[in-house]
Amino acid sequence: MLQVSNIRAHKEAYIQAFKKRNFDAENILNDVLKLDETRRSTQAQLDETLAESNQLSKEIGTMFKNGEHQKAGILKGKSAKLKETSKAFSDELNTTIQELDKLLYTIPNVPHDLVPSGSTEADNVEIFKEGDIPVLPEGSLPHWELAKKYDIIDFELGNKITGAGFPVYKGKGARIQRALIAYFLDKAANSGYNEYQLPLLVNEASGFGTGQLPDKEGQMYHVGMDDLYLIPTAEVPMTNMFRDQMLNENELPITCTGYTPCFRREAGSYGAHVRGLNRLHQFDKVELVRIEKPENSYAALDKMVEHIKDLLRELKLPYRILRLCGGDLGFTAALTFDFEVFSTAQDRWLEISSVSNFETFQANRLKLRYKDKDGNKQLVHTLNGSALALPRVLAGILENYQTPEGIKIPDVLIPYTGFDIIN
């Protein structure tokens, strides 16, 4: 959520920046400023009434002490009138605040200068590419065929137990999942990230804190009886650990990592692109979260990018990095880099990580601030990134490492799997 004070100070710049999202913000920003005007003047009127009322109550108190009951009775009537007035102002204030918040909730983050304009993923800018795309032998298969051939992932079984998008990993398939999780967590720990095991269900306040609510309500599974949501990413519980906190400067940066399953309804996604592991309702992911001082956040974003590059280099998977265009940028992000692995057998790129700087957008909702050297309180910047999402990494490994003898295991994973081929 944007800060009204910033909207007031940078309105024109924001309107220009929002054009990159194809978002014509002029009217809504004007409405916000107008409502904020109303809010402040109503607040002032309310405060004035309350001040008068407080004063009166004190006087009445003194009169009672002095036994001047009759005099007090007169003032009581006056006080009742003031109460009516303050109630009216208070109602008006609440209505205004609600309207203001409702508007603010619909405004996405301001795109960073580096964000290219554009409306679809075709407008994303490739900024880096590394790794050789292997030439596969005759008769090479897409990963869902390989999964069946070697009996390591069973999609039908998942259909039976739950429904589409909930695969069952079996034998070496299950083992390689566990290996990937352990490998990713070890790498994160070596880079200084603190490991957490987090709740997989979160309350409404947490959903609001990181911006999934109210924007993406339909994308999360909701447990009605207890009014809880299944997490769509570890970002939600991991970032919300710090909700409503005043940090000291010397506590920053805070760096966390954690493995969780992720649950997404993916309403409206069907067709060939969701085959196999490409798009699931439940999948595993290791996530990184950083809480930074504003002046350091973009250097931190670069660090996260380097961390993920290192993972993909070690796994020897061909990948590229995209800078997301305004149209593809998430609601809460100021700047996002997507990592994609090349799926040889499908002849397409698969997104396996998304790394974003949210600047103060989440911190403002979370009320997550820190005190700098001079004792000034300011919002922190929050960042997060997947390192990595498992299913598409697995798809990439299965497809790129297939040989006539079976699927080789990347060298770096062998200590974790305990085997070097799936056959």
Partner RNA sequence: GGAGAAAUGGCAGAGCGGUUUAAUGCGGCAGUCUUGAAAACUGUUGAGGGUCACACCUCCGGGGGUUCGAAUCCCUCUUUCUCCGCCA
Residue 161 makes contact with RNA by CB under 7 A: no
By CB under 7 A, the residues from 225 to 254 that bind RNA are: 246
- Give min distance, CB of 293 to RNA, in A: 16
Task: Show the tokens assigned to 185.
Answer: 């967590």
DSSP string of 339-386?
EEEEETTTTEEEEEEEEEEEETHHHHHHTEEEE-TTS-EEEPEEEEEE
Taking CB under 7 A as the rule, does residue 364 contact RNA? no
- Regarding beta strands 194-196 and 153-154, do their DSSP bridges make them parallel or antiparallel, or are they unpaired? unpaired
Q: How far apart, in whole angstroms, are the C-alpha atoms of residue 50 and residue 39? A: 16
Q: How far is the CB of 40 from RNA (least distance, A)?
A: 5
* Alpha-carbon Rg for the chain in angstroms: 27
**The one segment of 50-58, 141-149, 216-224, 328-336 that binds RNA by CB under 7 A:** 50-58
Which is nearer to RNA, 61 or 415 (by Cβ)? 61
Q: Can you tell me which of 28, 33, 50, 164 binds RNA, judged by CB under 7 A?
A: 50
Q: Does 81 bind RNA (CB under 7 A)?
A: no
Q: Is 223 in the site for RNA (CB under 7 A)?
A: no
Identity of the residue, 273 or 367, whose beta carbon is nearer to RNA in the bound complex: 367
Closest approach, Cβ 309 to RNA, in A, equals 38
Counting contacts by CB under 7 A, is residue 40 touching RNA?
A: yes
Binding flag, residue 79, RNA (CB under 7 A): yes
The DSSP symbol for 131 reads S
Which two structure tokens, joined as six digits, stand for 107?
A: 């405004």
Decide if 312 contacts 413 (C-beta within 8 A).
Answer: no
* 260 neighbors 285 (Cβ within 8 angstroms): yes
* One-character DSSP codes across 132-146: PPPPPPTT---HHHH
335 binds RNA (CB under 7 A): no
Which position among 9, 13, 80, 127 is part of the footprint of RNA (CB under 7 A)?
80
1, 14, 53, 286: which one binds RNA (CB under 7 A):
53
Do 174 and 418 contact (CB within 8 A), yes or no? no
Q: Which of 46, 115, 311, 395 forms a contact with RNA (CB under 7 A)?
A: 46
Nearer to RNA, 60 or 317 (CB): 60
Q: Count interface residues toward RNA (CB under 7 A).
A: 24
Q: How far is CA 377 from the centre of its chain?
A: 24
* CA dist., res. 292 & res. 262, Å (int): 25
The binding site for RNA (CB under 7 A) comprises 40, 43-44, 46-48, 50-51, 53-58, 60-61, 64, 76, 79-80, 83, 246, 369, 377
